[in-house]
Chain A
């Protein structure tokens, strides 16, 4: 188990504008602690924390001005309507009128909240509440957005909406840092991944970089039958030193599946009168990477 007294150590995340980074790790790994530290809600015992070149310890309010945050266990004021909640948040962000009204109107239109804007937050479903929380996080038109478990507990439709919103924000040039346990969704939303374990950063990079670090790339070739697969293996062993496996009528060659290599393999097999039904790069799922990286 993670000992929270160890805290976060030497974590540097490099996320460019217009991209999103997933922060992955087990419960208690320190993901939320890291986000709270970057927001200046928790102070590091030693060292410093910097967001977009701004020192979090000395200028926490400046950091909060450029960051939008949707906490994991976020809540809404149940007695207030959606419109009132957004107006209150905008006032606390010090957005002056009439810019405030324009900003609220535009966010209501963008997140399709017009029909519920006069509803009390206490009557909203989890998915709609999440959307309002997201709207609230975007009111200050932030350069950076922190989303802590944004799709947790959402039904598939609401989760898809959230994914679309994240992808829209990326296209607008926003930088996103997202924590999630739902790895297939992370793959759809994030270009970069950081794995964190017991407060330490295990690895960070683009999805492909992290995948190739933990899982060997491979090429899958599907042939007519098992006998064809055996012949193909014998043929491929003459050209490749990499390990080759057989699974029924499929051959798996553990090599980086560059297009030119696949074209070469295809030609060799066809020259040997072996019908290739399918040849493709084996996709490594983030699930596999996660379990390997976490040593589970």
Chain B
């Protein structure tokens, strides 16, 4: 049976990566990964090449490394609807026998898949490089509770949150406004990163609070976004 949500997602990802910005996206992912690697190397050279120091450094800079995958996810969602409007394909899509949810989830799924793939790539590069290129003394387990929370909950939830925000806002914004909004969202994430580095709160507590806030935001956005997403609001803006 044809899974229309998956088909929409597949088409969105393919369209995004066929554009010239796909190359730029890959370069940006590597730049964010390189910045994180550079900073982690710097910390290790000062604090010693131990698993404890590496885990602590990863705890800070994996967050930074997840900024671009999150905005990539947001970008796909923004572009998904803005591009449909620009190419005048939206009205035909809406005239197909699809439910509002199927269209919404198809676009959203594309962003989440691309965002998660970006996260996997950046995390693999950062963790792989820092672990295998340094003489690490394994004095403690690398995967602490705080790091696990960041890598497996906070970062993926940030990706989901950005995809949801973008899907909801994309009903109202043009391609240009979408780009500006996406840039602004990078600023917000960098602000959270700066806050994380300056506040003197235990990393586990900070990540736990962040996870709760993001989860609540995601849940609210999903309920609000899914309920408010309808053809009429999109058609009235054609």
Interface of A toward B, CB cutoff 8 Å: 36, 39-43, 61-62, 64-65, 67, 69, 71, 73-80, 88-89, 91-96, 133, 136-137, 140
- A89: chain B residues at CB < 8 Å are 92, 96
Contacts of B7 in A (CB 8 A): 88, 91-92
Q: Find residues 80-125 in chain B having any chain A CB closer than 8 Å to their own CB.
A: 87-89, 91-99
Q: 20 new A-B pairs (CB below 8 Å) besides A42-B232, A75-B92, A95-B2?
A: A39-B95, A41-B95, A42-B236, A61-B98, A64-B96, A65-B97, A69-B92, A75-B88, A77-B15, A77-B87, A79-B19, A80-B15, A88-B7, A88-B11, A91-B2, A92-B2, A94-B4, A96-B2, A133-B92, A140-B97
A140 — which chain B residues lie within 8 A by C-beta? Answer: 97
Say how far A194's CB is from chain B's closest CB, in angstroms.
21
The answer to whether the Cβ of B235 comes within 8 Å of any Cβ in the partner chain is yes
**Contact for B91 among A73, A88, A95, CB less than 8 A:** A73
Closest Cβ of chain B: how far from A292's Cβ, in Å? Answer: 33
Q: Which residues of B contact A80 (CB under 8 A)?
A: 15
Interface residues of chain B, those whose CB is within 8 Å of chain A, are 1-2, 4, 7-8, 11, 15, 18-19, 87-89, 91-99, 231-232, 235-236, 238
Lowest 5 A-B CB distances belong to which pairs?
A75-B88, A64-B97, A71-B91, A75-B87, A69-B95
Q: Which residues on A sit within 8 Å (CB–CB) of B18?
A: 79
Residue in B1, B19, B96, B235 whose beta carbon sits within 8 Å of that of A92 in the complex: B96
Cα of A133 to Cα of B232 in the assembled complex, Å: 22
14 A–B pairs (Cβ distance < 8 Å), ordered by A: A39-B95, A61-B98, A64-B95, A71-B88, A73-B91, A73-B238, A74-B91, A75-B92, A77-B11, A80-B15, A91-B4, A92-B4, A93-B96, A140-B97
Among residues of A, the one whose C-beta sits closest to the C-beta of B106 is A92
| B86: nearest chain-A partner, CB-CB | A75
Of A41, A67, A78, A96, which is within 8 A of B232 by CB?
Answer: A41
CB distance from A131 to the nearest CB of B (A): 15
Give the one of B91, B93, B236 with max A CB within 10 A. B91
Give the residues in chain B near A36, CB-CB below 8 Å: 235
Contacts of B97 in A (CB 8 A): 61-62, 64-65, 93-94, 140
Is there contact, CB below 8 Å, between B232 and A73?
no
Interface contact A92-B87, CB-CB below 8 Å: no
Question: Looking at the complex, which one of A67, A75, A137 makes contact with B89 (CB distance below 8 Å)?
Answer: A75
If A42-B232, A42-B236, A65-B97 touch, whether A76 touches B87 (CB-CB below 8 Å) is yes
A91 to B8, alpha carbons, bound, how many Å? 9
Report Cα–Cα, A95/B7, bound state, in Å.
12
Query: Distance (Å) between the CB of B168 and the closest chain A CB?
Result: 20
Residues of B within 8 A of A65 (CB): 97
Q: Are B92 and A41 in contact (CB under 8 A)?
A: no
Enumerate chain B residues within 8 angstroms of A41, measured Cβ to Cβ.
Answer: 91, 94-95, 231-232, 235
Residue among B8, B89, B232 making CB contact with A43, cutoff 8 Å: B232
Complex contacts, A96 vs chain B, CB 8 Å: 1-2
Chain B residues with Cβ below 8 Å from A133 are 92
Shortest Cβ distance from residue B119 to the other chain A in the assembled complex, whole angstroms: 25
Complex CA distance for A69 and B87, rounded to whole angstroms: 17
Q: How far is the CA of A41 from the CA of B232 in the complex (A)?
A: 6
Q: Which residues of A contact B92 (CB under 8 A)?
A: 69, 71, 74-75, 89, 133, 136-137
Bound Cα distance A69, B4 (Å): 19
- With A43-B232, A76-B87, A77-B87 in contact, is A71–B2 under 8 Å at CB? no
Which single residue of chain A is at the shortest CB-CB distance from B7? A91
Q: Are B91 and A77 in contact (CB under 8 A)?
A: no
**How close is A144's CB to chain B, nearest CB, in angstroms?**
12
Per the bound structure, the CA–CA distance linking A78 and B87 in Å amounts to: 8
CB distance from B147 to the nearest CB of A (A): 40
